[in-house]
Structure 1
Amino acid sequence: MDTTAFLHWLQDTVAAEEGPSAIRRIIRFQEPSDYSQFLREWSELSTPSQQQAVKQIQIIRAISCRLPAKETLSRFAGRVWIENDFRITVDAAPQKSLSAEKGIPWGIQHVKAPLAWSTTTGHRIKIGVIDTGVDFSHPDLRHSLSRGINLINRSMLPHDDNGHGTHIAGTIAAANQVHGMIGIAPRAQVYPVKAFDHNGSAFVSDIVLGIDWCVRNKVQIINMSFGMKTRSKALLNSITNAYNAGVIVVASSGNDGKRRSVDYPARYPQTVSVGASTRLRRVAPFSNRGAYIDIYAPGDKIVSAWLRGKYHEMSGTSMATSHVSGAIALLLAYKPGLSPADIKSILKRSVQPLRGTKAPKLTGELDIMRMLQAADR
């Protein structure tokens, strides 16, 4: 490939494409040598403003930048692929603000996490939460957080300006036994990866960078409480890289109440796809369901940590996903070295049947004690 010609084309296009017709696109290089050559030339020949306009996504040999919507890169056909850098949104909506929460929330009791704590607390298991960041000052999370990364502003800690990420982190690993709430795996470590802005919105390219960061930092579980309707080769490629590196990816199925469809990335077989259930052990009305779901977990009226040391009740498959990520942390601390395929198999073998005449028969609800027993067999 003539990387110099590509570089000049990119410089001209980036300079011209600031109008309303431009959208974010991902350009992936087929050959590693072409990508390496491009990166070398780009760092030497581009201006600081051009470098700022082009995001490097090295895990999948790609870049992301604003380009014309109809650009096909036909002149570089066979050497690069192009796809839209779609926006993704988090899978939940806040319902009720609460000033205090004491003890063990219903979902954590429901999946029998407290019965497991004499055996495993998730000690030292690393969980990457790709989300809106986290409230580092929340008293229930103080002992459960590592530094993480802010992909929106690299010079800052991944502070949460939305609340969703803090809620997810609380269910996974809150640890304030005396005055606050306790999460599923209170001795696990949450690595907040801020890819979503204050509106709960992110680009696929930032999710890919977040996955890359998690893999490089030896995170064992990645929680993805978000989804989109469109398939992305870039996202699939990065999730496959994580899976092959031994990282288990847990993803929410979406909140459309669909019977035969789930959101991406939960639809990919390399993830654990999570649907939401209620206190009555039924599928939550808002949850997507069907053959693509691997497991259900509490997702209806879930209370967890929120901004400024507060608590919020939220419903969504996001909340269900955080229960499963916490459960996997308990499992990995109990049985180190399990592969993503092992973990998925243990989860699916150990579910509790759901209630209701329309309940799915091929899968069921998370039960942590049954999960640990299945791991011993």
Structure 2
Amino acid sequence: MDFHEFWKLVLEEAAAAPGNAERRIVTFHDPRQYAGALSQWKSLKSRRPGLRRVKVSPLIRAFFVPAAGAVKLVQRYSEAVAVEEDLRIQIHSHTQSPAANKNSHSLPWGVRAIRAPQAWSRSTGVHIKIGVIDTGADFLHPDLKSSLASGVNLLHRGMLPIDDNGHGTHIAGTLAAAGGMRGMMGVAPRSLIYPVKAFDHTGSAFVSDIVLAIDWCVQNRIDLINMSFGMKSRSNALHDVVVKAYRAGIPIIASSGNDGKRGGDYPARYSEAIAVGAIDRKRRVASFSNHGSYIDVYGPGENVTSCWPKEGYKEMSGTSMATSHVTGAAALLLALRPGITPRELKLALRRTSSPLLLRKGQRRATLGGGAVDAMRLLRARARRPTGAGSAPRMPG
């Protein structure tokens, strides 16, 4: 393969692309050809400014290139590479409103509902590193100061992943806030959040940003990944990187989406992920939550109060909020059982979940798993199941 010619063609495609509006993910099938293309790119980019816009994921052997259609790339190198559109992906927020009295939120209802406080005598999630792929975090929030590591800003390398949206701060608060009696407490208050800023101020990202975020988490040996976002379309590149994290032993916990339908968004629908739906205060599937047999577990997701930028608090609803409760419970278990695999964690979450209350016309079998219960999860300590029960989705 002529790598110089390959990059010449990429530059031609980039010149035809309207700004940053069009991007393509180019994945090499052969590791040796990827290595050759990577070496050539490194030697060329200092002389060809257009190549500096290219980003790289070593984990899935991919380049993310500005390109209008990449028709010539597909035609000339179809046997060597796979080319797909770099799709947009959105955070899963539903509704939000201010929460004025912060002193009343030391234990939000969701943290109590999953029985996290009762579990703290056994585990507080100490030393568990949680990658939160989101909009960043508020590093000045008093409830999060002791819970945040520096993380990474994939949109502006070299800068802290400061939250300019609020969603990431809200997720971090439910996960690991440690404000004591003066602020709020999250599910796993002694775990450590690594904010991975992949989403902009509007809550939007490209699939390539998510691939780079998971790549960073794998390279930095993160223990657990929270992904409160999704999209309707499948992406081979996104699935590939989720599989890579799974094989590296890093569980990915993902929100199913807020369409109120049977079915759901990707990446939650990939069998290697742990798919989360939302429940309300009555332990029923929330009206906005997606549902179905692929859902592994449900978490509190309606009117959840958590941290907000500028030392604030906000009430939000969505499967995003449910996912942070489940990830927090998983962190409690991982602190007791550091070697647990993603498959074992999924089994444990499903096996120890509590039954849901059904709405009129609902059948339990169509909903998937039950409600997350931190105490039951820790008591089980991820023992392998011996009795009957609904089997979770497992990768083939």
- Asked if 1:155 corresponds to 2:163, the answer is no
* Aligned partner of 2:211 among 165, 186, 208: 208
Match of 1:52 in 2: 52
Report SS of the residue matched to 1:296. strand
CA distance in 2, matches of 1:312, 1:332: 28
Match of 1:370 in 2: 376
Q: What letter corresponds to residue 83 of structure 1 in structure 2?
A: E
Q: Give TM-score, length-normalised by structure 2.
A: 0.92
Match of 2:62 in 1: 62
Contact 2:11 2:51 in 1 (8 A): no
* Aligned partner of 1:119 among 119, 122, 125: 122
Contact 2:27 2:83 in 1 (8 A): yes
The more displaced of 110-119 and 92-101 is 92-101
Q: Deviation digits for residues 38-66 of structure 1, max 9, x if unmatched?
A: 11112222335213321112211111122
CA shift at 1:70, angstroms?
6.4
CA distance in 1, matches of 2:382, 2:36: 50
CA distance in 2, matches of 1:360, 1:255: 19
Contact 1:297 1:366 in 2 (8 A): yes
CA distance in 2, matches of 1:297, 1:80: 40
Match of 2:348 in 1: 346
Q: What letter corresponds to residue 7 of structure 1 in structure 2?
A: W
Contact 2:95 2:318 in 1 (8 A): no
Report SS of the residue matched to 1:168. helix
Taking only aligned residues, the RMSD between alpha carbons, in angstroms, comes to: 1.4
CA distance in 1, matches of 2:77, 2:258: 39
CA shift at 1:25, angstroms?
0.9
Match of 2:357 in 1: 355
Match of 1:307 in 2: 309
Give the total of aligned pairs.
375
CA distance in 1, matches of 2:96, 2:176: 22
The more displaced of 97-106 and 311-320 is 97-106
Report SS of the residue matched to 2:67. strand
Report SS of the residue matched to 1:129. strand
- Asked if 1:197 corresponds to 2:197, the answer is no
CA shift at 1:11, angstroms?
1.9
Match of 2:386 in 1: none
Match of 1:231 in 2: 234
Q: What letter corresponds to residue 282 of structure 1 in structure 2?
A: R
Contact 1:281 1:355 in 2 (8 A): yes
Q: What letter corresponds to residue 198 of structure 1 in structure 2?
A: H
Q: Deviation digits for residues 6-49 of structure 1, max 9, x if unmatched?
A: 111112222332369x6211011111111111111122223352
Match of 1:83 in 2: 84
- Asked if 1:247 corresponds to 2:253, the answer is no
Contact 1:121 1:188 in 2 (8 A): yes
CA distance in 2, matches of 1:62, 1:363: 35
CA distance in 2, matches of 1:374, 1:26: 42
Match of 1:41 in 2: 40
Q: What letter corresponds to residue 80 of structure 2 in structure 1?
A: R
Contact 1:94 1:312 in 2 (8 A): no
CA distance in 1, matches of 2:200, 2:253: 21
CA shift at 1:359, angstroms?
5.0
Q: 1:325 to 1:5 in 2, by over 3 A?
A: same
Q: Deviation digits for residues 57-102 of structure 1, max 9, x if unmatched?
A: 2211111122123626111111010001111000013421123423
Match of 1:4 in 2: 4
Match of 2:143 in 1: 140
Identity, in percent, stands at: 51
Contact 2:98 2:314 in 1 (8 A): yes
Q: Deviation digits for residues 189-210 of structure 1, max 9, x if unmatched?
A: 0000000000000011010110
Contact 1:290 1:360 in 2 (8 A): no
CA distance in 2, matches of 1:37, 1:126: 34
Contact 2:128 2:223 in 1 (8 A): yes
Q: What letter corresponds to residue 29 of structure 2 in structure 1?
A: Q
Match of 2:270 in 1: 268
Match of 1:297 in 2: 299
Q: What letter corresponds to residue 216 of structure 2 in structure 1?
A: W
Report SS of the residue matched to 1:240. helix
CA distance in 2, matches of 1:166, 1:360: 33
Q: What letter corresponds to residue 271 of structure 1 in structure 2?
A: A
CA distance in 2, matches of 1:352, 1:359: 15
What are structure 1's unaligned runs of at least 5 residues?
none
Contact 1:100 1:180 in 2 (8 A): no
